[in-house]
């Protein structure tokens, strides 16, 4: 791909339309990458030192905003105005993060627990989307400085477990940063791509992506087939990562100095030096067996063996999560073809060795583990730009999408694990005569009752012309675009009235809940089926009761008094039966009613047809 530099003087905008950049918007660090001479590369900062941009935003005096290394320096000096880990807040409500609020050194608030969180800095309130946009803008500037041309199109990665709200928030952040986000890609998919896995459509593979970053751990099991990356399962720990390794070393250093944790709090600058030394020690121990450093003029020595002993339980926790992920995917460790290492913390030899032993095979680790996701994003971007012919890569929906139907039942329209993008629809009708408005409530999840699933949003289709129940034809379409963003469109086909929404966040969901939803659907399958059966029987009975009343009214002149009375009795019996929790009781009452009324209905029909042929009106109260 040829990059043509621009001449700003004559106002031309250059050929940036050819270039789509790849961005890893991480919890701890973010990176930007692009394809240079057919090779994905991450972009270094102006100082040429590092490809990592710490995902930290500092709000200084005079409206000064810094991102990255400069902001990181403010973490201890000016904690209230230094925002880190904003990724943890994306698409979340206050309720979602209430329990972990103590983790953040800055102020998170919301007046309404159901709505999305905001961060307070000085007198201003920032949404996680705005804060992420600052990081994305810094990445945009970084690559524009290197390429000497504007870029406006990007692919951004997100964890595989991110839900629609979190993905939408990420997209919005891109837009706010002046980026046209062409695709949101799952991080494990990007990591696999960086290693060229999945680029051969003929090859089918089962891979595990082990991602241990600064503060989070994710394990994803992916099935790759014909260019489709299917997430079979995800697992992990949202509070386990390199930061915990740092804390382990801090404890060791304090022990050697004969100090306690209080010393860190008492003297902030001492605390900061110990923390910096801890991370430095950890990184050094990834390459050598011993490390010697000084703090406050005193020498400390830490051996790799001692460090490993300390963090062994943490590593074990990641392996337990791997076990769970495999179980959820219904696979075993030896069925995994490839294991990809992602995240700076996988540089720790103990981590690498433990994972390799667990899966019983060497791991993919020759690329920079903190760069692989960004590199893969650049490759995905290149594919989207059409530079790698005949390749079409797709992710899939992690949970089913559907709407609520009568009785609170979930009607799935796009099943879980469907290919993305996707479009599916179904026709519905009204259950009440003359119904003018219809509420369409959209849910995500696997359970049969919507109350157990997650509500994504709702809207009302208004202006349906009054018609008897069952006559309106309401077509509902689910359009899931390539980023997993959902548009729901409802249209009454007879009148053409139409309404649609792009799913907007109502409230968030945390990762555990997401995984739990899948597990619940399995453990409650039996019970759910029973409930669904009962509700469906009740719905059928209710429709029949309405039809029965109408039948009596319309055929008043045709039916004998005896027939009318018998039908009424059976209708009352059916109404009584709907109160039962045994679906068979309801089905039985339905059957008895149907058996009795079917011949009557046939006769009524014949009479009506005859009458119609002779131009007579036999309906209703007018009588004979």
Catalog residues that contact ligand ADP under the rule CB under 6 A. Answer: 26-29, 213-216, 241-243, 279, 282-283, 286, 343-345, 347-348, 370
Query: Pick from Mg ion, ligand ADP, none: which does 29 bind, CB < 5 to 8 A by kind?
Result: ligand ADP
Q: Which is nearer to ligand ADP, 303 or 556 (CB)?
A: 303
Distance CA 259, CA 242 (A): 23
Task: Judge whether 586 and 541 are in contact, CB under 8 Å.
Answer: yes
Of 467, 470, 471, 473, nearest to 496 (Cα)?
A: 473
Query: Pick from ligand ADP, Mg ion, none: which does 293 bind, CB < 5 to 8 A by kind?
Result: none
Q: Is residue 241 a contact residue for Mg ion (CB under 5 A)?
A: no
Residue among 14, 22, 26, 128 that touches Mg ion (CB under 5 A)? 26
Q: Which is nearer to ligand ADP, 137 or 447 (CB)?
A: 137
Task: Tell me phi and psi for residue 119, to 5 degrees.
Answer: -115, 135
Q: Give per-residue burial for 199-223: e unless 16+ CB within 10 Å, then b.
A: beeeeeebbbbbbbbbbbbbbbbbb
Q: Which is nearer to Mg ion, 40 or 537 (CB)?
A: 40
Q: How far is the CB of 211 from Mg ion (least distance, A)?
A: 6
Binding segment toward Mg ion, per CB under 5 A, in 22-30, 69-77, 104-112, 599-607: 22-30
Of 300, 339, 304, 296, nearest to 318 (Cα)?
A: 339
Query: Pick from Mg ion, ligand ADP, none: which does 216 bind, CB < 5 to 8 A by kind?
Result: ligand ADP
Hey, CA dihedral for 270, 104, 177, 18, is it positive or negative? positive
**Per-residue x/- mask for Mg ion, residues 157 to 196, rule CB under 5 A?**
----------------------------------------
Q: Give per-residue burial for 262-274: e unless 16+ CB within 10 Å, then b.
A: eebeeeeeebebb
Q: How far is the CB of 70 from ligand ADP (least distance, A)?
A: 17
Task: Judge whether 380 and 393 are in contact, CB under 8 Å.
Answer: yes
Q: How far is the CB of 377 from Mg ion (least distance, A)?
A: 11
Q: Which is nearer to Mg ion, 214 or 472 (CB)?
A: 214
Rg over CA atoms, the chain: 31
Distance CA 597, CA 601 (A): 6
Residue among 68, 91, 198, 213 that touches Mg ion (CB under 5 A)? 213
Q: How far is the CB of 429 from ligand ADP (least distance, A)?
A: 49
Binding segment toward Mg ion, per CB under 5 A, in 205-213, 354-362, 479-487, 599-607: 205-213
Q: Is residue 54 a contact residue for Mg ion (CB under 5 A)?
A: no
Q: Is residue 236 a contact residue for Mg ion (CB under 5 A)?
A: no
Q: How far is the CB of 135 from Mg ion (least distance, A)?
A: 13
Q: Please write down the HEC assignment for all residues of 19-57.
A: CCEEEEECCCEEEEEEEECCEEEECCCCCCCCCCEECCE
Q: Which is nearer to ligand ADP, 293 or 343 (CB)?
A: 343
Q: Is residue 214 a contact residue for Mg ion (CB under 5 A)?
A: no
Q: Which is nearer to ligand ADP, 13 or 239 (CB)?
A: 239
What is the DSSP secondary-structure string of 249-294? HHHHHHHHHT--THHHHHSHHHHHHHHHHHHHHHHHHTT-SEEEEE
Of 131, 123, 52, nearest to 92 (Cα)?
A: 131
**Which of the residues are catalytic?**
24, 87, 187, 211
Hey, CA dihedral for 116, 120, 124, 130, is it positive or negative? negative
Binding segment toward Mg ion, per CB under 5 A, in 71-79, 207-215, 284-292, 484-492: 207-215
Q: How far is the CB of 174 from ligand ADP (least distance, A)?
A: 17
Residue nearest Mg ion by beta-carbon distance: 26
What is the DSSP secondary-structure string of 94-152? HHHHGGGGGG-SSEEE-SSTTSB-EEEETTEEE-HHHHHHHHHHHHHHHHHHHHTS---
Q: How far is the CB of 496 from ligand ADP (least distance, A)?
A: 49
Query: Pick from ligand ADP, Mg ion, none: which does 445 bind, CB < 5 to 8 A by kind?
Result: none
Work out the angle between the directed axes of helices 268-285 and 304-329 (0-180°, nearest 10). 70
Q: Which is nearer to ligand ADP, 283 or 426 (CB)?
A: 283
Q: Is residue 215 a contact residue for Mg ion (CB under 5 A)?
A: no
For residue 87, what is the DSSP state?
A: G
Distance CA 216, CA 187 (A): 13
Query: Given the rule CB under 5 A, which residues bind Mg ion?
Result: 26, 213
């Amino acid at each position: 791909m040829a990059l043509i530099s621009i001449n700003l003087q004559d106002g031309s905008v250059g050929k940036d339309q050819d270039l789509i950049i790849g961005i890893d918007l991480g919890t701890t660090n973010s990176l930007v990458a692009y394809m240079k001479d057919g090779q994905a590369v991450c972009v270094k900062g102006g100082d040429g030192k590092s490809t990592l941009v710490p995902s930290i935003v500092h709000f200084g005096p005079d409206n000064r905003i810094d991102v990255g290394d400069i902001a990181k320096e403010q973490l201890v000096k000016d904690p209230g105005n230094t925002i880190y880990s904003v990724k943890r807040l994306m698409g979340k409500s206050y309720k979602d993060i209430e329990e972990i609020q103590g983790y953040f050194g800055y102020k998170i608030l919301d007046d309404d627990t159901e709505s999305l969180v905001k961060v307070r800095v000085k007198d201003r309130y920032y949404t996680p989307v705005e804060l992420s946009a600052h990081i994305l803008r810094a990445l945009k500037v970084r690559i524009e400085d290197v390429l000497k041309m504007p870029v406006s199109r990007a692919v951004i990665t997100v964890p595989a477990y991110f839900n629609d709200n979190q993905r939408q928030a990420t997209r919005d952040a891109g837009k706010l940063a002046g980026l046209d986000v062409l695709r949101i890609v799952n991080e494990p998919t990007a990591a696999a791509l960086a290693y060229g896995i999945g680029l051969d459509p003929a090859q089918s593979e089962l891979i595990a992506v082990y991602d241990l970053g600064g503060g989070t751990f994710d394990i994803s099991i992916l099935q790759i087939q014909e260019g489709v990356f299917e997430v079979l399962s995800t697992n992990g720990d949202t509070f386990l990562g390199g930061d915990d390794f740092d804390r382990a070393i801090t404890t060791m250093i304090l022990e050697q100095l004969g100090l306690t944790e209080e010393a860190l709090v008492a003297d902030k600058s001492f605390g900061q030096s110990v923390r910096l030394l801890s991370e430095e020690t950890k990184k050094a121990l990834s390459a050598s067996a011993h490390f010697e450093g000084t703090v406050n003029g005193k020498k400390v020595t830490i051996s790799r063996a001692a460090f490993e002993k300390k963090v062994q339980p943490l590593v074990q926790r990641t392996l337990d999560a791997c076990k769970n992920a495999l179980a959820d995917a219904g696979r075993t460790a030896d069925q995994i073809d490839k294991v990809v290492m992602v995240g700076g913390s996988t540089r720790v030899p103990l981590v690498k060795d433990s994972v390799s032993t667990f899966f019983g095979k060497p791991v993919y680790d020759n690329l920079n583990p903190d760069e692989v996701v960004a590199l893969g994003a650049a490759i995905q971007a290149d594919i989207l730009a059409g530079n790698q012919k005949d390749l079409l890569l797709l992710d899939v929906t992690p949970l089913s999408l559907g709407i609520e139907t009568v009785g609170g039942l979930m009607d799935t329209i796009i099943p879980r694990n469907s290919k993305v993008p996707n479009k599916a629809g179904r026709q519905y009708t009204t259950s009440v005569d003359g119904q003018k408005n219809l509420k369409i409530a959209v849910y995500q999840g696997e359970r049969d009752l919507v109350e157990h699933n997650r509500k994504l949003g709702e809207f009302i289709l208004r202006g349906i012309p009054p018609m008897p129940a069952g006559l309106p034809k309401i077509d509902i379409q689910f359009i899931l675009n390539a980023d997993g963003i959902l548009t729901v469109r409802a249209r009454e086909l007879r009148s053409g009235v139409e309404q649609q929404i792009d799913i907007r966040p109502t409230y968030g969901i945390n990762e555990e809940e997401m995984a739990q939803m899948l597990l619940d659907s399995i453990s409650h399958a039996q019970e759910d089926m029973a409930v669904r059966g009962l509700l469906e029987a009740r719905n059928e009975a209710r429709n029949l009761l309405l039809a029965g009343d109408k039948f009596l009214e319309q055929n008043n002149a045709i039916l004998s008094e005896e027939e009318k009375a018998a039908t009424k009795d059976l209708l009352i019996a059916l109404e009584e039966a709907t109160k039962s929790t045994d679906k068979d009781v309801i089905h039985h009452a339905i059957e008895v009613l149907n058996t009795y009324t079917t011949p009557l209905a046939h006769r009524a029909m014949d009479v009506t047809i005859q009458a119609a042929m002779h131009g007579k009106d036999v309906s209703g109260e007018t009588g004979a």
